[in-house]
Amino acid sequence: MVEYKNILVPTDFSTNSVQALEFGHMLAKQNNSTLHVLHIIEPVYNQNQILDDFNEKRYEQSRYLDAEEELRRFINKISAQGVDIIEVLTPGKPYEQILYYSRKNNVDLIVIASHGWTGLSHLITGNVANKVFRYSEIPTICVKSNTTLLKEVSSNRSTFAENWVG
């Protein structure tokens, strides 16, 4: 049986990411694993507005502090009981940072949501989960958007138990 000591859940704070977090938390609890929750702060490229160095640093610091607060709120959506959770914020391109973090921190499994941000830019630039699947060297589970995965798991268990003849 495969043992998962470190499980990574990258997040963009979307509803779909909450589902991935819940599933990752469930797996971490079952495997007595550490759960790493990673949010990547993407660089902002705005050619129309030129900021001086001071204002740019203040802006980046403000974005970091906002993301830090949002990450805490995001993690508080689940009960952390019985699971060590490591919160991580890092700048960069999401799929590159997910892969880098997983290698650097001996992650055994990545649990990622299938869709986060949507819209035309999503179609043009490609999907982060797809790139993580393509380039990851470790097992990756993609939690499909708008599923009730945990309810299905628990209802399957109770159905199995009710129908068990032994």
What are the structure tokens assigned to 80, written together?
């952390």
Structural domains in the chain? 6-163 (3.40.50.620)
pTM of the model: 0.78
Q: What is the pLDDT of residue 118?
A: 52
User: Is-contact 118 15, C-beta < 8 A?
Assistant: no
Q: Give me the sheet containing 84-91, strands edge to edge.
A: 84-91, 34-41, 6-11, 109-113, 140-143
Q: What is the pLDDT of residue 77?
A: 86
Question: Can you give the length of the chain in residues?
Answer: 166
Q: Give per-residue pLDDT as tens, 124-150.
A: 444 898 899 899 999 999 987 665 555
Q: Give per-residue pLDDT as tens, 60-104.
A: 899 999 999 999 999 998 877 889 999 999 999 999 999 999 999
